[in-house]
Chains A and B, each alone.
Chain A
Amino acid sequence: MMVPVRCFTCGKVVGEHWEEFKERTKENDESAEIVLDDLGIERPCCRRMLVSHKDLVDIVSPYQ
């Protein structure tokens, strides 16, 4: 629903970078690989946290 705060595997804080990642990949159409390198998210365990995430608050909120 909301981006995980930390990487499930190693514990690095990844939530911190979500909004920048989202903006650059979805709106500026940059490649996720380059953005993640830029953000200093090196390990594959942390990279999958952002690459595979989907915000769901907007989808859920009408059903409160």
Chain B
Amino acid sequence: MGRGHRKTAGSEMAGDFEVQFIDRGERTARFVVRGVTPAFANGLRRAIVADVPTLSIDSVRIIENSSVMFDEQIALRLGLVPLTTPPDEFEEGDSVTLALDVEGPDTAYSGDLVSNHELVEPADKNIPIIELKYPETADSPQRLELEADAVMGRGREHAKNQGGIAVGYRHLQTVDVVGDQDAFNDGSEESTVLRGVIEESAAEHAVSAGNGTPENGQLVPTETFDNDLAQRYPDKEVDVRDVPESFVFHVESDGSMSIDELVLTATDTLLDRADELEQAVSL
């Protein structure tokens, strides 16, 4: 579990906010952000999806295409292939050239794309672009040869530039034990199903799911108790409430950059926007 601090805009009203990771994978992560308003949380989500520039193929020069697909269809498929985007290397609008040359009978994969920049390559190598045949009736195999320009663009222009996939957040919640459950409750009264992450605040009533003793303040993903509060707090009557100004973000990257880079670049774009607004209104 990592902790990090990041200072928001150099203005007086914004303070530090705290980031605490729950899951941290190469392409997906879940973390809690504290001390932000719902508006800021949504602003961050939108920035991750639409405002982080990534490289993706934008124009294609077809040299030979005798496959079963039209040039435009192949260009679209190439555009959707995520390309690794090195940090601070490119400005918006910069481009990189890639080339592809495959002859049937074979399948052209995203991994067959060769770029002229050592840090830019397809993030996923195994995406089939088009299956090329050598039909018995034909005198030459199907062939695909092309050159493509990848351009730095933003998700708000085209979905192929979205670095973040299915980015979302929900409130961090906490559970209060308000009493014992009615002895005659057959479980039909109220659902105890909860999804997300809870901050433990009733550790003395909690049953551990085999990951250490429950402690107050601990962050517990609900899937550790099968999303069922009746398993975590057996025979107790519970009350769920939101922790104010705390959000659990779920971020998934398409591989064009790491989660850290994606989220940090998104916060930077928010800062830039705030600065721009400040400049625009101060005469």
Residues of chain A at the chain B interface (Cβ within 8 Å): 1-3, 5-6, 10-13, 15-19, 43, 55, 57-58, 60-62, 64
In addition to A2-B69, A5-B127, A57-B131, 9 A-B residue pairs with Cβ atoms within 8 Å of each other are: A1-B69, A5-B80, A12-B165, A13-B124, A15-B124, A17-B126, A43-B166, A58-B133, A61-B68
- Give the 9 A-B CB pairs with smallest separation, nearest first: A5-B80, A15-B127, A10-B166, A16-B124, A57-B131, A11-B165, A61-B133, A60-B68, A16-B126
| Contacting residues, chain A, for B137 (C-beta < 8 A) | 62
A-B contact pairs, 7 of them (CB 8 A): A1-B68, A1-B69, A2-B128, A3-B128, A5-B77, A10-B166, A13-B124
With both chains docked as a complex, state the minimum distance between the C-beta of A20 and any C-beta of chain B, in angstroms: 8
Q: Chain B: interface secondary structure?
A: loop
Query: What is the predominant secondary structure among interface residues of chain A facing chain B?
Result: mixed
Q: How far is the CA of A16 from the CA of B126 in the complex (A)?
A: 5
In Å, the complex CA distance between A3 and B123 comes to: 18
State whether the Cβ of B214 lies closer than 8 Å to any Cβ in chain A: no
Contact A2 B80 (CB under 8 A): no
Q: Which residues of A contact B255 (CB under 8 A)?
A: 13
Q: Is the CB of A57 within 8 A of B68?
A: yes
Tell whether B81 is near chain A: CB-to-CB under 8 Å.
yes
A3 to B271, CA, bound (A): 39
Chain B 95-133 interface mask (CB, 8 Å, partner A; 1/0): 000000000000000100000000000011011111101
Of B124, B128, B252, which contacts A19 at CB under 8 A?
B128
Is B162 on the interface with A (CB-CB < 8 A)? yes
**At the interface, yes or no: B153 with Cβ under 8 Å from chain A?**
no
Q: Are B133 and A57 in contact (CB under 8 A)?
A: yes
| B131/A12 in contact, CB under 8 A | no
B166 and A12 contact, CB distance less than 8 A: yes
Residues 188-210 of B contacting A (Cβ, < 8 Å): none
